[in-house]
Amino acid sequence: MKVLSGIVICIFLAALDQTVVIPAIPAIARDLHDSRNLSWILTAYLLASTIVAPIYGRLSDTYGRRRLLEICLVIFIAASVACGLAQSITQLIFLRALQGLGGGGLMSLAQAAIADAVTPRERGRYQGYLAGVWAVASIAGPLVGGFLADHASWQWLFWINLPLGLLALRLCRRGLPASFTARGYKTRFDTAGSLLMIATVSSLLLMLTLGGKALPWASGEMLGMGALFVAAFGLLVLQQIRKADGLFPPRLFTDRALLTGTLSSTLAAGGVFASLFVLPIFYQNMFRSGATNAGLLMIPFLVANVAGNFATGHLARKMGRMKPVVVSGTLMSIAGFLLLATAAGHLPLAATIAFSALAGVGLGCAMVGTLMSVQNAARQGDIGTATGTLLLLRSVGSMLGGAAVGAYLESQLHLPGASGAMDMHGAVMPAVSVAPAAFSVMFLGIAAAMLVALLISLKSPNVLLRSGEHPVVAMD
């Protein structure tokens, strides 16, 4: 219980700080007398937390989870306190990036620690708990942030992390073994690969965040970032192919279960984020809902997503296999989005909510199911690496999903910057007028992405989960 409690708090903190700042940004701008570069308060945390996930995962396979988790908690707590003391927007942006370096580790190391602490067959139940906590924290973030900004001060958005972080530190120290590292898996840190990965991911995420909004797509800055991405990615691939124990070992991409699980999960993450982008605008346009009501109408989708998380854990224990769960969940999501595409502007609200819930539960099953598949397929010394890689690609998939539907929306509205209207952080987009056919296209696009995920999942091996440490691949 101590293990789970500490890890749950880590996940809660990492998720909460992605969204808690959003409603307080106007107050921060007034207090610090600066309205420039406010989006970087959000972007700095997201970027830093994304790029460190695979690095922490790889390091934890060598040095153990607890030691690194404690370091990440200390970084996160110290940066949170410092954020509340910031005297300028520039200071706050820098400290938010530092906070993200800790928050990214909390997410990846907590997921890997669960894989170490329980048997493969039991992991689904606990991963469902963590996914549920993540969803609750993401929803609660704007509510908590708005309340504290109105009734206290924006500094408390960060200072509330202090007691929770210290509690998590104590629980993890007491509950986690000193090291989960298996003997014989010690490797040297891949410095070159890490630097190339940081350059690759940073340039891509910055292009998706700034393109079409802060910077024109054809600007010199964007072209420069594009060139950096292509060069860094090419060098990263060449370097990792030649390095057996690099940041991304080739065996992660030659093992069929690992590869299919990672790719399917990346597409599912894109589907989740695209849904969070499109559905509120859909409700505002098709049912004349205000922004608040549109947010409330999102609750069935989010609750269904969490239900899918928990259902996956239960089915994993009962069936002992993940492939049927992932395939079934992906099929449900496809059905839900196809029905939404057909229903756009034609069916009553209750039916539309039901279809969104169907898509939500399917995505929930797919997200947890693919994570379990990857962790079960990875050897013990690669669990942290595989988990960190999966989380990195999920973040990239989320960005691409949001950018794709945003770019299409911009083409329909002819509004510069619509592709970045959510700043990639879930901020609510202002009400706009969109034709029903445009929503049908967006829902069909998400369904098409999930169809690709389905085809990939069908190629995955049928993994039989045991009560022991290692998975067994059963014959199809």
Amino acid at 100: G
pLDDT bucket at 291, cuts 50 / 70 / 90: low
Q: Which domain holds residue 291?
A: 252-473
Do 237 and 330 belong to one domain? no
Distant-in-sequence, close-in-space partners of 369: CB < 8 Å, separation ≥ 6: 124, 312, 316, 322, 325, 326, 329
In a domain, 315, yes or no: yes
The domain spanning residue 289 has which CATH number? 1.20.1250.20
- Summarised one tens digit per residue, pLDDT across range 352-380 is 999 999 999 999 999 999 998 898 888 87
* The pLDDT of residue 99: 95
Q: Identify whether the C-beta of residue 328 lies closer than 8 Å to the C-beta of residue 272.
A: no
| Mean pLDDT confidence for 233-247 | 90
Do 217 and 332 belong to one domain? no
Do 235 and 256 belong to one domain? no
Q: How many domains does the chain have?
A: 3
The 3-state secondary structure of 187-215, one letter per residue: CCCCHHHHHHHHHHHHHHHHHHHHECCCE
* The pLDDT of residue 185: 54
Do 285 and 202 belong to one domain? no
Distance CA 359, CA 332 (A): 6
- Summarised one tens digit per residue, pLDDT across range 303-353 is 899 899 888 888 887 887 889 999 999 999 999 999 999 877 778 889 999
Do 216 and 336 belong to one domain? no
Do 444 and 313 belong to one domain? yes
| Mean pLDDT confidence for 391-404 | 90
- Summarised one tens digit per residue, pLDDT across range 4-51 is 788 899 999 998 888 888 888 888 888 888 777 777 888 889 889 999
- Summarised one tens digit per residue, pLDDT across range 165-190 is 999 999 888 877 665 544 445 667 88
| Mean pLDDT confidence for 277-305 | 83
Q: How many percent of the chain have pLDDT more than 70?
A: 89
* The pLDDT of residue 158: 92
| Mean pLDDT confidence for 442-454 | 96
In a domain, 270, yes or no: yes
Do 143 and 104 belong to one domain? yes
Q: Identify whether the C-beta of residue 339 lies closer than 8 Å to the C-beta of residue 355.
A: yes
Q: Nearest-CA neighbor of 416 among 431, 406, 424, 426?
A: 406
Q: Which residue has the tokens 């209207």?
A: 421
In a domain, 247, yes or no: no
Q: Identify whether the C-beta of residue 434 lies closer than 8 Å to the C-beta of residue 281.
A: yes
> Which 3 state secondary structure label does DSSP give 287?
coil
Q: How many percent of the chain have pLDDT more than 90?
A: 40
**Final residue in a domain of this structure, among 174, 204, 225:** 174
* The pLDDT of residue 421: 39
In a domain, 185, yes or no: no
Phi, psi angles (nearest 5°) of residue 21: -80, -20
| Mean pLDDT confidence for 88-98 | 92
**Cα 5 to the center of its chain, rounded Å:** 21
Angle (CA) 172 166 157, round 5°: 125
- C-alpha radius of gyration, the chain, whole number: 21
Distant-in-sequence, close-in-space partners of 265: CB < 8 Å, separation ≥ 6: 366, 367, 370, 371, 374, 390, 393, 394, 397
Do 206 and 115 belong to one domain? no
Do 351 and 393 belong to one domain? yes
β-pair type (463-464, 472-473): antiparallel
**Cα 40 to the center of its chain, rounded Å:** 18
Distance CA 311, CA 151 (A): 38
Do 149 and 298 belong to one domain? no
Phi, psi angles (nearest 5°) of residue 64: 95, 155
Q: Hey, what are 52's tokens?
A: 């460190």
Q: Identify whether the C-beta of residue 365 lies closer than 8 Å to the C-beta of residue 327.
A: no
* The pLDDT of residue 429: 46
Q: Identify whether the C-beta of residue 193 lies closer than 8 Å to the C-beta of residue 239.
A: yes
Q: Identify whether the C-beta of residue 413 lies closer than 8 Å to the C-beta of residue 146.
A: no
pLDDT bucket at 468, cuts 50 / 70 / 90: low
**Cα 436 to the center of its chain, rounded Å:** 29
Q: Which strand (E) or helix (H) includes residue 473? A: strand 472-473
Amino acid at 259: L
Give the CA count within 13 Å in the CB-facing half-sphere of 451: 9
* The pLDDT of residue 179: 55
| Mean pLDDT confidence for 399-421 | 69
In a domain, 179, yes or no: no
**Cα 251 to the center of its chain, rounded Å:** 24
Distance CA 255, CA 459 (A): 12
pTM value?
A: 0.84
Greater confidence (136 vs 335) lies with 335
Distance CA 324, CA 314 (A): 13
Do 228 and 328 belong to one domain? no
Cα dihedral 299, 138, 123, 103 in deg (nearest 10): 170
Q: How much is the mean pLDDT over the chain? A: 84
Alpha-helix runs per DSSP H in 118-160: 120-151, 156-159
List the single range of 41-45, 142-146, 437-441 with lowest mean pLDDT: 142-146
Phi, psi angles (nearest 5°) of residue 456: -65, -45
